[in-house]
Structure 1
Amino acid sequence: MGNTLVNSQLNDVKGFLSKTISTLEDFLNETTITQLHNENEEERSYTKLIFSNLRKLIVYSEEGLDACSVIFQSEPFQKAAAEKILYKIYHQCIEEFFAPKNDAWYEDSRSAYTGRNAIKFYRNVPDSIEQLLISLEGEFQRIREELEYYETDYRTKMIQSK
């Protein structure tokens, strides 16, 4: 891929990460688990798990945003480093959103065929949490489609370099 395309994608991802961080921070700074009126301890524990995953997603997004900024500050543009960063963002941010390691929620793979939202929860969740993830899902899906190339390309390069 040419420097211009990689640069453009990195810039797009940088904007996406900034917006994602802002949205998640606003939600987490303004919302407490107590405010969500969990009916019982099991629901409260599940909500804590979701909040934990959202905080982790912010950290990964901030790390990705910082890495993007470093690449943009370096002259000349370092295409290989930018591709590595995009690969890392794909795995740490995008994959974590659709399939969190702590199983806070999951992606319904059939959603592409039904036109419904892909993120599904294992238990009932407050509407505010559901609306938050719905609001983020479209952009995460768009960026995932843009960065899927780096998944296969970067792995191929790593295998060939051995």
Structure 2
Amino acid sequence: MGNLMVKTQVEEVKVFLDSSVKTLECYLNDITISSLLSEKEGDKAYYKGIISNLRRLLVYCEEGLDACVIVAQNTSFNKAAAEKTLYKIYHQCIDEFFAPKYDLWYEDSRAAYTGKNAISFREEVPRSIQLLIAQLEEKFQHIREELEYYETDYRTKMMQSKG
């Protein structure tokens, strides 16, 4: 993949991460477990787990954004560093969104055929969480499709360099 294409992807991912960070920060700064319970009675531990997963996702997105800013600001574009950054973002941010650490929600692979959102929760959740995830999902899906190349290409390059 050419330098210009990789640089363009870094810029696109930077915009995506900036937007995602703002959305997650806004939600997490205003939400409490008590407000979630008042919105919808449910399992307090489950709600805490979801908030914890969202915080982890926020941290990964912030780290990815910082890395994109550094790569984009370098006076001489380093394609290898950019590709490594995009690979890491794919594995931290995108994977954490679609398959979070504690498995409190999951991606329903059949959703593409039904026209519904792909993210399903293990238990019922308050509407604010559903809306947040739905708001983020389309953007995460788009970036996942854009970065899938790095899933195989970067790993292949690393294996070849070891061999």
Q: TM-score, normalised by structure 1?
A: 0.96
Aligned to 2:41: 39
Q: CA deviation at 1:151?
A: 0.2
Structure 1 unmatched ranges of 5 or more: none
Map 1:78-89 to 2 at 5 A.
78-89=78-89
Aligned to 2:112: 112
Structure 2 Cα separation of the partners of residues 19 and 72 of structure 1? 17
Runs of 4+ deviating beyond 6 Å? none
Aligned to 2:25: 25
Aligned to 1:14: 14
**2:124 alignment partner, SS class:** coil
Structure 2 Cα separation of the partners of residues 4 and 39 of structure 1? 51
Aligned to 1:151: 151
Partner amino acid, structure 2, of 1:119: I
Aligned-residue CA RMSD in angstroms? 0.9
Q: CA deviation at 1:72?
A: 1.4
**1:161 alignment partner, SS class:** helix
Partner amino acid, structure 1, of 2:158: M
Structure 2 Cα separation of the partners of residues 101 and 135 of structure 1? 20
Map 1:122-161 to 2 at 5 A.
122-161=122-161
Q: How many residues align?
A: 160
Structure 1 Cα separation of the partners of residues 41 and 101 of structure 2? 25
1:9-43 per-position Cα deviation (integer Å, ceiling 9, x unaligned): 00000000000000000001111110122535xx1
Structure 2 Cα separation of the partners of residues 21 and 60 of structure 1? 9
Percent identity of the aligned residues?
Answer: 63
Aligned to 1:99: 99
Structure 1 Cα separation of the partners of residues 6 and 71 of structure 2? 11
Structure 2 unmatched ranges of 5 or more: none
Q: CA deviation at 1:102?
A: 1.0
Partner amino acid, structure 2, of 1:60: Y
